[in-house]
Amino acid sequence: MVARRSSRAPILPYRRAELSTPGHDLKMLRKAAGTSADMVLMDLEDGCAPSQKVPARGVVVEAAKTLDWGGKVLAFRPNGLRTPYFFDDLTEVVGQAGEFLDVIVLPKVEGPEDVRYVDRLLEHLEWKHDLDPGRLRLEVLIETAQGVLNAGAIARSSPRLVALLFGIYDYAGEVGATVGSDTFTDFTFAKQSALAAARAAGLLALDGITARFKDLELTRTESESSRRMGFDGKWAIHPSQVDVIQRVFTPSQEELDRAVRRVTAYRHADREGRGAIVVGEEMVDEATLRTEMRRVALGRRLGLLSPET
C-alpha cells in the first residue's frame, strides 16, 4: 500500500477575513503570511496579468512550501475552468505543493458539473502525489448570472465544498450593473442567493471585496452590512483591510455574554416545559434564539468561550 503524506492541521471551521494576494509577487505573499487573516489566497486569476500567469505558478509553489503561514488556512485560486490556464494551474501547483495547501478556490463556477469535474481531478491528483484522499477542500465563487441561478445545486455538488463566495465585480460586469455606494440594495438578490444556498448546504458564506481598499471606514461599514445580512466573513484585497474585517466578524464580549445569557435562560425554561420567555425586555423563543446559538458556537470555535458554555 502507498504511504500517504500527513495532512496539515485541521482546517479552521470558520472564516472572517480571506486575504487575496497576487500569486506572482513573493514579497506581497510574505506580507500576507504575516497578517491576522483566517485564510490567505494566492491568486493566479484576476490578481495576475496574462504575462505573469504561467511564471506565477512557480512563485505560488515556492511561497506555499517556504513561508511561515502561522496556522492560517492556505488556498490558491487557479484561472477559470474555461481558460487555457486552468488545467496546468491545478496540476502543477497541486503536484508540487499539494501537501502544503488546504483549499482551492474556483472562480466563475456556472453549475454543479464544474465542481464535480474539479473534484474528480483532485481525486486523481491526491492519489498520484500521495496526499490524503479528500484533504484538498474547495471554495466556490458565485460571480456569474448562471452561477447565481444554480447556486443551490452548486452548493450540494461535492463533499469537498467548504464555502460559497459572492464575487460582486464579475457579476456586475456580466449583468451590466454598476457597483455603487449601496451594494446591499443593488445586489440583494444575488447576495441572498449565494447566502441561502450556502446555508441550505451547511457551508460557510463570504461576501465579496471592498475595492476602495484605502477607505477603511468603507471596509468597516460594508463588513457590518455583510454581517447583518448573515455572511460569516468577507474577502480582503489588501492587508490593511484584514484587521478591520476580522474585528467586525468577531463577536464582542458583550454580544457573547448576551447570547450565553439568552441561550441559558431558554434552556432552563425548556426544562420547565415553557416555550417563549422574556429576557430583559425581549421575547426569546426557538426562532429568535437561532442567531444567538450561532454566535455562541462561533465564540467556542474562536476560543472566546469554553466548550462547556
Please give the domain boundaries of the chain with CATH numbers for all domains: 17-248 (3.20.20.60), 253-301 (no CATH)
CA distance 130 to 63: 21
Q: What is the pLDDT of residue 146?
A: 97
Between the CA of residue 283 and those of 181, 251, 253, 275, 288, what are the distances in Å? 35, 21, 22, 10, 8
**By C-alpha distance, which of 220, 163, 219 is closest to 194?**
163
Question: Considering Cα of 71, then 85, then 141, then 110, what sign does the dihedral take?
Answer: negative
H or E element that contains 284: strand 282-284
Return the higher-pLDDT residue of 96 and 1.
96
Q: Could you give phi then psi for residue 298, rounded to 5 degrees?
A: -65, -40
Q: Could you give phi then psi for residue 74, rounded to 5 degrees?
A: -115, 125
CA distance 238 to 261: 37
Tens of pLDDT, residue by residue over 242-275, are 999 999 999 988 888 888 888 777 777 767 667 6
DSSP 250: S
DSSP 108: S
Q: How confident is the model at residue 3 (pLDDT cuts 50, 70, 90)?
A: very low
CA distance 82 to 127: 25
DSSP 91: H
Label residue 306 exposed, middle or buried (CB < 10 Å: 0-12, 13-18, 19+): exposed
Query: pLDDT at residue 8 above 70?
Result: no
- Which residue carries 455574554 as its cell? 257
Query: pLDDT at residue 309 above 90?
Result: no
Residues in the chain: 309
Kindly give, in sequence order, each residue whose CB lies less than 8 Å from that of residue 74, ignoring residues fewer than 6 positions away. 8, 39, 40, 42, 64, 100, 101, 102, 103
Q: What is the pTM of this model?
A: 0.89
pLDDT averaged over every residue in the chain = 91
Query: pLDDT at residue 299 above 70?
Result: yes
DSSP strands (E only) in 62-129:
73-77, 103-106
DSSP 149-215: HTHHHHHTS-TTEEEEEE-HHHHHHHHT----S-HHHHTHHHHHHHHHHHHHTT-EEEE---S-TT-
Between the CA of residue 278 and those of 261, 263, 285, what are the distances in Å? 12, 12, 9
Q: What mean pLDDT is predicted for residues 187-205?
A: 96
**By C-alpha distance, which of 134, 74, 69, 121 is closest to 95?**
121
